[in-house]
């Protein structure tokens, strides 16, 4: 029997890569198959990640594409079920909190196939966030829950999940980071894309935004872009833009504002380009979950443009500050960064590059115990 690994969206790719490598490298290798749901399909959102992270081509691509949450989730479920019938796995392994994660978990559990969730137990406390619903439900359905930080176990216990099924192993996202840093594409190469290149050696900030709560509402997005424009008059900003955000900026007619600022906008960067620019950035401003973790691992100050985080250890131990989306609070945090050089932190326990190895070990034991 094999373990069926599922990926769907960009933040899944850097989590599955080290896990699949650890499965092959285990003392008793763990056979696996890979399904890509096709939730993310653009070359910039998918293909470059498979190549750079050395993920094997998926055994199956469900090709679901975009849609409303209901349509996308339902379509994944319909197309995933026949794979379970054709090649019944010993377990289905899902990562993170995207629609592909909950959709495949729900199909598997109803067929009495055990679900393994990597990155379990994270909670923002904000149920308006689609990922929060995906997290809560996936954890309820899972047989084996691997966590990245110690707080997660308490969240799961509060929701009635048997602690015996919860295993603290560390953060596979940081495994990928550590395995890839020496391959990172130098920031200078990415700067060359711009008519007015950033100057190597001069401080710059890195920005990403894609949460529906930040980009789908014209007023919120306009405020955030205005704040970023003003910051960019003091320190240039590099803004690799998610397709969702790009579509909203165009729909709301906000391109002009960006063009006349110190913000360099580009399409989504590949993983190795992103690592290259992140490593060199003085400050990161983001609403991404992964970037909150990566900046903590790299010791780069991060301002999170959200009202909550499901990754509190990046605040208590790491370099992250939750600043919300109000202009005055973001400016205040930016001024503090300018005065102090930004928040220092330390790397959280077990973010050591070996989480996938621990996961493979535990799954190996669990398969033997049957």
Catalytically active residues are 210
Q: Tell me the pairing of strands 32-36 and 3-7.
A: parallel
Fill in the per-residue mask, 163 to 202: x = in contact with ligand UD1 (CB under 6 A), - = not in contact: ----------------------------------------
Q: Tokens at residue 283, please?
A: 């400050």
Q: How many other C-beta atoms are found inside a 10 Å radius of the C-beta of residue 269?
A: 22
Kindly indicate which of the ranges 4-12, 252-260, 273-281, 349-357 contains the residues binding ligand UD1, using the contact rule CB under 6 A.
4-12
Kindly indicate which of the ranges 35-43, 146-154, 223-231, 301-309 contains the residues binding ligand UD1, using the contact rule CB under 6 A.
35-43
Query: By CB under 6 A, is residue 250 in contact with ligand UD1?
Result: no
CB 131 within 8 A of CB 309: no
CB 8 within 8 A of CB 40: yes
Kindly indicate which of the ranges 37-45, 84-92, 226-234, 299-307 contains the residues binding ligand UD1, using the contact rule CB under 6 A.
37-45
Among residues 15, 21, 40, 117, the one that binds ligand UD1 under rule CB under 6 A: 40
Among residues 47, 154, 199, 247, the one that binds ligand UD1 under rule CB under 6 A: 247
Among residues 1, 25, 42, 255, the one that binds ligand UD1 under rule CB under 6 A: 42
Fill in the per-residue mask, 62 to 91: x = in contact with ligand UD1 (CB under 6 A), - = not in contact: ----x-----x-------------------
- Work out how close the CB of 45 gets to ligand UD1 at its nearest, in angstroms, rounded to a whole number: 4
Among residues 37, 99, 176, 314, the one that binds ligand UD1 under rule CB under 6 A: 99
Which residue, 27 or 70, is less far from ligand UD1 as judged by CB? 70
225-244: contacts with ligand UD1 (CB under 6 A)? 242-244
Query: By CB under 6 A, is residue 9 in contact with ligand UD1?
Result: yes
- Work out how close the CB of 145 gets to ligand UD1 at its nearest, in angstroms, rounded to a whole number: 19
Query: By CB under 6 A, is residue 47 in contact with ligand UD1?
Result: no
Among residues 4, 5, 7, 11, the one that binds ligand UD1 under rule CB under 6 A: 11
- Work out how close the CB of 44 gets to ligand UD1 at its nearest, in angstroms, rounded to a whole number: 8
115-154: contacts with ligand UD1 (CB under 6 A)? 130-131
Among residues 2, 41, 140, 266, the one that binds ligand UD1 under rule CB under 6 A: 41
Site residue total, ligand UD1 (CB under 6 A):
19
Give the separation between CA 231 and CA 198, rounded to whole angstroms.
15
Query: By CB under 6 A, is residue 15 in contact with ligand UD1?
Result: no
Binding site for ligand UD1 (CB under 6 A): 9-11, 39-42, 45, 66, 72, 98-99, 130-131, 210, 242-244, 247
């Amino acid at each position: 029997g094999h373990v069926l690994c599922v990926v769907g969206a960009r933040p899944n790719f850097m989590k599955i890569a080290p896990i699949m490598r650890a499965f092959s490298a285990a003392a008793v290798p763990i056979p696996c198959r890979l399904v890509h749901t096709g939730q993310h399909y653009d070359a910039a959102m998918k293909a470059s990640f498979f190549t750079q992270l050395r993920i094997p081509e998926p055994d199956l691509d469900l090709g679901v594409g975009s849609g409303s949450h209901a349509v996308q989730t339902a379509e994944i479920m319909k197309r995933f079920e026949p794979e379970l019938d054709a090649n019944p796995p010993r377990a289905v392994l899902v990562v993170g909190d995207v629609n592909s994660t909950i959709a495949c978990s729900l199909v598997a559990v109803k067929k009495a196939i055990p679900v393994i969730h990597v990155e379990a137990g994270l909670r923002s406390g904000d149920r308006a966030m689609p990922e929060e619903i995906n997290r809560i439900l996936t954890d309820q359905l899972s047989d084996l829950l691997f966590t990245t930080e110690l707080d997660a176990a308490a969240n799961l216990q509060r929701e009635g999940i048997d602690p015996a099924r919860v295993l603290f192993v560390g953060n596979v996202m940081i495994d990928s980071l550590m395995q890839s840093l020496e391959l990172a594409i130098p920031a200078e190469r990415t700067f060359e894309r711009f008519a007015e290149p950033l100057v190597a050696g001069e401080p710059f900030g890195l920005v990403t935004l894609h949460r529906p709560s930040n980009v789908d509402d014209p007023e919120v997005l306009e405020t955030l872009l205005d704040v970023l424009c003003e910051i960019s008059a003091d320190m240039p900003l590099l803004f690799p833009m998610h397709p969702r955000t790009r579509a909203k900026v165009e729909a709301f007619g906000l391109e002009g504002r960006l063009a006349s600022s110190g913000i360099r906008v580009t399409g989504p960067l590949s993983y190795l380009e992103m690592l290259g620019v992140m490593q060199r950035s003085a400050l990161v401003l983001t609403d991404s979950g992964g970037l909150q973790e990566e900046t903590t691992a790299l010791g780069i100050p991060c301002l999170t443009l959200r009202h909550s985080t499901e990754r509190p250890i990046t605040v208590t131990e790491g370099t992250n500050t939750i600043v919300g989306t109000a202009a005055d609070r973001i400016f205040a945090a930016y001024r503090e960064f300018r005065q102090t050089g930004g928040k220092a932190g330390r790397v959280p326990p077990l973010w050591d590059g070996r989480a996938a190895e621990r996961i493979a070990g535990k799954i190996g034991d669990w398969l033997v115990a049957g």
